[in-house]
């Protein structure tokens, strides 16, 4: 990338990051912390370096191989989140990334067990989020809400190399914007239900570029924002 193009891109990403951070702060306002995960899938390493230069440390990727390659090229203090559909044969590959901060897409007991096994040589337990298909769409990954508590209990009781960190959902599009997002409400209710029985308060990873502000108002502790920071993504070939 030419130096002039890089300078323009830097200004754009800095400006977008500042806007997103201001919008987050306007809602949480020091009352609680909210994590911004910059979703950098299909974006060049140069974009991630610019966001890193502006203090961003949490980044999310959807494809295991892309995450592996980027993690080798970028600073070790980046805290990577895997947020794409988790394939069983990718657990070892992901567990080998030293600065993998969390896998947010555990959606079955078997995948929890495989990831637990893959993390055997990691020094400390790996944070995981259980992904819930709150909208019950066939096209989406995630455990059905009615099975969520069972998986949470399984991870807590049977996966010592995993740290149960939270719940994750992808809100359904094409809903009534005048009504509270039912996906976010479902996730919040599951958080409350698990806390009542276990005493553990899980994080809520919900909200993306189009709806992170509503997610924060409904209790999100982590939002996953891509296009509002980096612009639209190119199609994956």
What's the burial of 191, exposed, middle or buried (CB within 10 Å: 0-12/13-18/19+)?
A: buried
pLDDT tens column, 166-193: 999 997 776 777 788 999 999 999 999 9
Give pLDDT, residue 137: 82
- Per-residue pLDDT tens digits for 104-150: 999 999 999 999 999 999 999 999 999 999 988 888 889 999 999 99
The per-residue pLDDT for 237 is 52
pTM of the model: 0.95
Tell which wins on pLDDT, 200 or 32. 200
């Amino acid at each position: 990338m030419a130096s002039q193009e890089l300078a323009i891109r830097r200004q754009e990403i800095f400006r977008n990051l500042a806007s997103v951070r201001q919008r987050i702060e306007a809602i949480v306002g020091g009352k609680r912390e909210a994590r911004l995960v910059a979703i950098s899938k299909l974006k060049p390493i140069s974009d991630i370096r610019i966001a890193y230069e502006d203090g961003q440390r949490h980044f999310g990727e959807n494809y295991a191989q892309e995450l592996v390659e980027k993690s080798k090229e970028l600073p070790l203090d980046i805290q990577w989140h895997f947020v794409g559909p988790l394939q069983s044969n990718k657990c070892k590959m992901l567990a080998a990334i030293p600065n993998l901060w969390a896998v947010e897409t555990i959606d079955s007991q078997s995948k929890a067990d495989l990831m637990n096994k893959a993390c055997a040589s990691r020094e400390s337990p790996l944070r995981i989020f259980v992904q819930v298909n709150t909208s019950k769409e066939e096209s989406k990954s995630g455990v059905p809400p009615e099975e969520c508590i069972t998986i949470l209990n399984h991870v807590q009781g049977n996966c010592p190399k995993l740290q149960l960190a939270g719940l994750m959902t992808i809100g359904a599009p094409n809903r009534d914007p005048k009504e509270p997002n039912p996906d976010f409400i479902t996730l919040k209710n599951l958080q409350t239900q698990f806390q009542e029985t276990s005493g553990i308060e899980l994080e809520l990873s919900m909200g993306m570029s189009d709806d992170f502000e509503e997610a924060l108002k409904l209790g999100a502790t982590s939002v996953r924002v891509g296009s509002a920071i980096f612009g639209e993504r190119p199609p994956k070939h």
